[in-house]
Amino acid sequence: MKFFEKLMKIDRRIIYLILALVVIVPFLRPFMIHPKAMPPVENLYNYIDSIPPDKALVISVDYTPDTEPELQPMTIALLRHAFARRIKVGVLTLGVLGLGLAENALTQVANEFNQRATTREDSIIYGRDYVFWGWQTPALTVILGMGERISRVFSVDYYGNKTETLPMMQKIKNYNNVGIVVSVSASATPLWYITYGQTSFGIKVGIASTAVQAADMYPYLNSGQATGLLSGMKGGAEYEELVQTRLGITGRRRATEAMAAQTSAHFTIIAFIIIGNIGFFALRRRKK
Amino acid sequence: MSGEPWIWISAILTLAIFSFLYKENPFYRFGEHLFVGVANGYSITFMWHRILVPALINPVAHGQKLWLILVAFIGALYFTRFIPKISWMVRIPIALVMGYSSGAYIPRGIDAGIIEQTRATVVTRASFINWQSGIWAILILIGVVATVSYFFFSSERKGPLKPLSYIGIVFIMLGFGASFGYSVMARISLFIGRIQFLLRDWLGIIH
Amino acid sequence: MKRRIPLLIVFVFGVLGAIPFLIPHRIIQDADNEFRSSVLRIIVAFSLVLGVGSIIRHHYEKIRRKRENWQYSYVTLISLVISAIIGLFGGIEANGILPTRFVFPFTNYTFRFDIQTLYTNIMVPLGATMFSLLAFFMTSAAYRAFRARNIEATILLFSAFVVMLAAVPLVSSIFPKLSFFSEWILTVPNTAAKRGLGFGIALGSMATSLKIILGIERGWLGGTG
Amino acid sequence: MAISPPTYVRAWDNPNDAGGAIRISWHLSADDSIIDGYEILRLAEGEKEYQPIGFIGKGRNCYTDDETKDGLRYQYRVSAVKDTIRSYSEPSNFAQSSAQWFNTDRINVLIFTAIFIFLILWFITQAKRGTRLFVRRIAGLAAVEEAVGRATEMGKPILYVPGLSTVDDVATIAGLNILGEVAKKTAQYDTKLIVPNRDPIVYTVAREVVKEAYTQVGRPDAFNPDSVYFVTDSQFAFAAAVDGIMTRENPATNFFMGYFWAESLIMAETGASTGAIQIAGTDAVMQLPFFITACDYTLIGEELYAASAYLSREPLLLGALKGQDFGKAIIIGVLLLTTLLALLLNLPVLNLF
C-alpha cells in the first residue's frame, strides 16, 4: 500500500533532478542512437542526391543564434552531403544574423573535407565547389531576383569577390541551374520561397525547420510544394544518419548527440507517466 | 572557462532561474526582480526610439503630418487617469483602439476563420485521390461537425447532440494529447540549448 | 457623456476598421495603412507610461510600507531606471549622447553596456531559461495529470503517449507503424478538433466585436452593464 | 540558335485592387523547355522604347505589372530568353490600370457577415423583448464560487491573470468580464485579490472593472488600488514575476482567463505545485492542452466567451450567445450540404467560398 502511494506522489524535485541528469549526462558522455530516416527526410536526401553535375544546391541560412542548437546541425549535414557527392553549393541568408552561422558551417565542413583530401581534385575549393553569396535585403527581391540572375542580386559575395568572376558562377546563373533551394529556418521563410520563388519560377523547395515550426510546414509537404522536410533535432539526426551510412562521411554529429539527450528525456517522461498509472491502478484495485 | 564578464552574468542569471525548480529563494527573487526592471527599461527605450521618434517626433519636427499632434493629444489622454475629475477621458484612446480592432476583425475573421476553413473542410471528389485520403477527409469532416456541436450552449445535450458532442470531446482530447506530446521535443530542445550555453560557452567542457 | 462619447468613438472607428477589407481603392488603403502604422502605434506607445507608472508605484509602496521582501523592490526600481537611462540616452545602436563602453586602462579590453548588450546578456538568458523551465513543467504535469481516471483523460493520455513515443528514433525504427499512427493523429483528429474549435472561436470573436462596436458589450469601459 | 517567341500577348487591368497594376498573359514559346524564362517589356504612352520590367521562369504564362500609373496607357511585349538570345513577341493590346471601389472577390464574405450580424442582432432583440433564453451549465463555472469561498476560509488571496494579450483581443474582454464577477465575490467575502497585468491598457481597464465591482456590492472602501498593477510587457519576465507571486503570496485560487502563449504552463504548473485550485479559460488553442493537464477546471475556447454571459445573466449577452449557436448550426449545415452536393452530383461547390 505504502509503496504504490509513493509511486503516485513522487516529489516534483526528484522528477526535475532525474530529468536534468538524463539530459546533461549524454553531453558529457555522448552515445549514438542510430535513427531511421522518415520518408520526408529520405525524400529530401534522395532529391539532393540526384542533383545533376550542372546544377547547384542552394542553402538559405534563415535562422538566428537562438535556434542554432536545432538548425545548425542540419546545415552542416546538408553541406557534408553536397560536398561528398560533389554537388555545387550556393549559400545565402535572408537575415543578417545568419551570416556568422553560415560562415561557421561552411568553414567547418570545408576543413573536414580538405583535411582528408590529398589532391587538389579531392579538395573543396571556394569559388569552384561552393560560393557564399552573403546577405541581401529585402527578402522578396532576393527570392525573385535569383530567378533571373543570381549575380545581379549578389554582385559581390560575402568575402567581397565579384560574383561573376567565380568559376562556379559561370554555370550557375539562375533558378534554372539550381536543383533545389533548402531553406533552413526558424520562421516562415520556406513558405516565401514556395509562394514567390516556386510560383514564379517553379524552383523546388526543401524545408529544414524547428520542431515547433514544422507543424505549419506539413500542409506544404502533403501538397507536394515542398520536396522533403527536416523537422527539429530528430530530422537533423536522421539526415546525419543518412549522410554517414550511405556516403560514409564521418564527423561530429551534433543533432544525433542531442538526440541522445532527447531520447533519454522522452523515455524519462514516458516512464514517469507509466509509474504514475501503475500506482493509480494498484490503488484503485485495492479500494475495490 | 569563459573570461568574458557578460557570459558570467548570463550564466549566473541562468542558474538563478533554474534554482526556482528546487524552491523559491533569494537568488531567484533577485533574478525575477532584475528581469522585470530591465524589461521595463528596454520597453521604454523601444517605445521612444522605435515608435515615438520615427513615427511622431521626426515628421512633426520637419513640419510634416502636423495632424499627428492631434494623435499625440489623444494618446496623452491616457494620463487623465491620474486626474479624478476627467479620468473618464482615458476611455477615448481605448475606445479608438478597441473600435478599430473590432471593426477590422469582423470581415477578416469571417474570411480566414470561417469561409477559408469551410472550404478546407468540405469533401469533394477531388479529395479521393486515393481511398485513404478520401476517408481521412470524411473523418475530418465528422470531427469538425462533432467538435462544433460540443459547443452548443443554448440547448441541453440531448437527442442527437448527446452522442455528437461526445464524439466531439473525443476528437478534442485526441488533438490536445497530440499537441502536448508534440511540444515535448521542442521544450526539451530549449533546455538542451541552455545546457549547451552553460557547458560550452561558460564552462568550456564540451565543444 | 462619460459613456456616450467613448461608445460613439467605438462605433465610428469600428466601421472605419471594417471598410478597407471590402474597398480596394487606394485612397482607402493608404488611409488605413497610415492609421495602422502611425496612429495606432503612437497611441499604444503612450499607454506604456501608465504601465511604468503603475509598476513604479507598486514597488514604491512596497518599500514605503516595508512589506515582505521589500528589499527586492529596490532591484526592480534601480534596474528599471538604469536600463531606461542607458537606452534613452545611449541609443539603441549605442550611438546616443551617453557613452556605453568602458575601455580598461593598460589592457585592450572594452566593456560594453549599451541597451542591446543588456538585452542579449540579461533579458535573453533570463527569458530563455524561464522558457526552458517548460521541459521540467511538462514532465511533472504529465506525470501528475496523465492518469487513466476516466475515458476523456485516457484518450488524452493515449494520444500524448503515442506521439511522444513516436518522437523517439529508437522506437520509431523498431515500430515504423507507430510513426505513421502518430502522424495520423496529428493530421486527422488534431486538425479536425482545431478546426472545429476555430469555428466557434471565430464566431464568438465576431459576435463580441459586433457587440463592442454596437455598445452592447461595455466591460472594457470599466464597470459592468 | 534561334528560339521561337511567345505569342498572343494580352494585357488588362488587374481586378479588385487599389489600381496601379496590369495583368499580362501570353502563350508559351514553342521552345519553352530549353529557355531560361520570359522577360516582360513595357511601353508607356508617350515613351519611345520598351523597358524591361520583370522576369519570370519558363512554363509560366502570366505576370502582374504592379508599377503602373492609373489612367496611362501601356503596351507590353514578352521575350523568350536563353542566355543572351532574346526572341520578342508581337506587342499586346493597350491597357490601363484603375482602382476599384468594391472588391467583388469578397462578396461571399459580405454575405456571410450580413447573415451572422442579422442572426446576432435578431436574438439580441428577442432578448430585449424579454424572451427567456436558456444556457446550459458550464462545468468550470460552477467552480468559481466554490474557489472564492475556499480562499476566504483559508484566509489566503486570489490571483487573477486576465491573459497576456491586448484589450482588443476577445479573450481579454471575456477575461475582464469574468474578473468583474470574481471581484464582486471577493468584495463580499473580503478576500484579498491580486491582478498582475502584462498590457498597460488592460491594466487600466482591469483596475476600473475591479473598482466598479467593489462599488456595486457596496464595499468601495475595501478596494485596494495596489491590488491591480502592471508588471512588464515582456512575456517571460511577466511569467517569472507571476511565479514569484504564487510561491510567495501563496494564493488559494488562481484564475487564468484570457489569451496566453507558451508561459501558460510555466504559470499553471507552478500554481499546481503550491496547491492552489486553478481555473483557466482561453481561446489559445495551442495552450489549451497545458491548461487542461495542469489546472482543475478549464474553459475551452468558446466556453470562455459563454462564461461571461453565463455569469452575468445579462439578457443581451445571452441573446448573442444564441445567435452564435445558430451560426454554428448554419456552418454544420453548409458543410454537410456542400459535401453531399459535391460527392453525389459533382458540383463545383468550392467556388462558393
Looking at residue C170, its amino acid is L
Which residues does A10 contact at the CB level (< 8 Å), separation at least 6?
A272, A275, C143
| Cα separation values, C98 from A67, B47, C89, Å | 33, 18, 5
Interface test with C, best of B15, B21, B68, B173 (most C CBs within 10 A): B173
pLDDT of residue A166: 95
Helix D315-340 with D302-312: angle, nearest 10 deg: 150
> For D275, which DSSP code?
T
pLDDT tens digit string along A130-154? 999 999 888 888 998 999 899 989 9
Say if the Cβ atoms of A201 and D57 lie within 8 Å: yes
Q: Does B199 touch chain A (CB under 8 A)?
A: yes
In this structure, chain C runs to a length of 225
Which residue bears the cell 557534408? A80
Q: Does D273 touch chain A (CB under 8 A)?
A: yes
From the number of C-beta atoms within 10 Å of its C-beta (0-12, 13-18, 19+), residue B80 rates as: middle
pLDDT of residue C125: 95
pLDDT of residue D1: 66
Q: Does C113 touch chain B (CB under 8 A)?
A: no
Give the helix/strand (H/E) hosting D38.
strand D37-44
Would the CA dihedral through B58, B61, B66, B72 be positive or negative?
A: positive
What is the β-pairing status of strands A56-62 and A178-185?
parallel
Which residues of chain D have a CB within 8 Å of the CB of A202? Answer: 57-60
Report pTM.
Answer: 0.90
Q: Does B188 touch chain A (CB under 8 A)?
A: yes
Which residue bears the cell 504612352? D45
| Cell numbers describing residue C81 | 531606471
pLDDT of residue D102: 85
| Cell numbers describing residue A5 | 502511494
Cα–Cα distance, C166 to C181 (Å, whole number): 9
pLDDT of residue C220: 78
Q: Does A261 touch chain B (CB under 8 A)?
A: yes
Nearest CB to B152 within list D234, D325, D350: D325
pLDDT of residue D315: 84
Window 308-337 of D: residues touching B by CB (8 A cutoff) are 310, 321-322, 324-325, 328-329, 331-332, 334-336
What is the β-pairing status of strands D37-44 and D277-282?
unpaired
Complex-level ipTM: 0.90
> For A120, which DSSP code?
T
Cα–Cα distance, D173 to A189 (Å, whole number): 34
Residue ranges and CATH numbers for the domains of chain D are 7-96 (2.60.40.10), 104-135+312-326 (no CATH), 137-305 (3.40.50)
Say if the Cβ atoms of D103 and C23 lie within 8 Å: yes
Which residues of chain A have a CB within 8 Å of the CB of B22? Answer: 13, 16
Indicate the average pLDDT of chain C.
91
| Nearest alpha carbon to residue A233 among A190, A265, A266, A262 | A262
pLDDT tens digit string along C60-100? 999 999 999 999 999 999 999 999 999 999 998 888 899 88
| Cell numbers describing residue A71 | 538548425
pLDDT band at C224 (very low <50, low <70, confident <90, very high): very low
pLDDT tens, per residue, chain B with 207 residues:
888 999 999 999 999 999 999 999 999 999 999 999 999 999 999 999 989 999 999 999 999 889 999 999 999 999 998 888 898 898 999 999 989 999 999 998 888 889 989 988 999 888 888 888 899 999 999 999 999 999 999 888 888 899 999 999 999 999 999 999 988 988 998 899 899 899 988 999 887
Say if the Cβ atoms of C219 and D173 lie within 8 Å: yes
pLDDT tens, per residue, chain D with 353 residues:
688 999 999 999 998 888 889 999 999 999 998 898 999 999 998 898 999 998 998 888 999 998 899 989 999 999 999 888 999 999 999 999 988 888 888 888 899 889 989 999 999 888 888 877 788 888 888 888 889 999 999 999 999 999 999 988 889 999 999 999 999 999 999 999 999 999 999 999 999 899 999 999 999 999 999 999 999 999 999 999 999 999 999 999 999 999 999 999 999 999 999 999 999 999 999 999 999 999 999 999 999 998 888 887 888 888 889 999 999 999 999 999 999 999 998 888 787 77
| Cell numbers describing residue D178 | 469574468
Which residues of chain A have a CB within 8 Å of the CB of D265? Answer: none
Q: Does C117 touch chain B (CB under 8 A)?
A: yes
Which chains, if any, share at least 3 CB pairs under 8 A with chain A?
B, C, D
The nearest alpha carbon in chain C to D110 belongs to: C22
Tell me the average pLDDT across A38-62: 94
pLDDT tens digit string along A185-234? 999 899 999 988 998 899 999 999 998 788 778 878 877 899 999 988 88
Is residue D36 within 8 A of residue A176, CB to CB? The reply is yes
SS (H, E, C) chain C: CCCHHHHHHHHHHHHHHHHHHHCCCHHHHHHHHHHHHHHHHHHHHHHHHHHHHHHHHHHHHHHHCCCCCHHHHHHHHHHHHHHHHHHHHHCCCCCCCCCCEEECCCCCCEEECCHHHHHHHHHHHHHHHHHHHHHHHHHHHHHHHCCCCCHHHHHHHHHHHHHHHHCCHHHHHHCHHHHHHHHHHHHCHHHHHHHHHHHHHHHHHHHHHHHHHCCCCCHHHCCCC
pLDDT of residue B112: 86
Nearest CB to D244 within list B29, B141, B155: B29
Intra-chain end-to-end CA distance of chain D, in Å: 48
Say if the Cβ atoms of A202 and D59 lie within 8 Å: yes
Chain A to chain C, count of Cβ pairs less than 8 Å apart?
A: 80
pLDDT of residue C225: 35
Look at C223 and D195; give whichever has higher pLDDT: D195
Half-sphere exposure of D104 (CA within 13 A, CB side): 5
pLDDT tens digit string along D224-241? 999 999 999 999 999 999
> For B111, which DSSP code?
I
What is the β-pairing status of strands D22-27 and D62-65?
antiparallel
Q: Does B206 touch chain A (CB under 8 A)?
A: yes
pLDDT of residue A1: 59
List of long-range contacts for D331-338, beta carbons under 8 Å, 24+ apart: D331/B114, D331/B118, D331/B148, D331/C199, D331/C203, D332/B145, D332/B148, D332/B149, D334/B118, D335/B118, D335/B121, D335/B122, D335/B141, D335/B144, D335/B145, D336/B141, D336/B145, D338/B118, D338/B122
| Nearest alpha carbon to residue D37 among D81, D4, D85 | D81
pLDDT tens digit string along A97-124? 899 899 999 999 999 999 988 888 889 9
Alpha helices in A117-210 (DSSP H): 139-148, 150-153, 189-192, 199-201
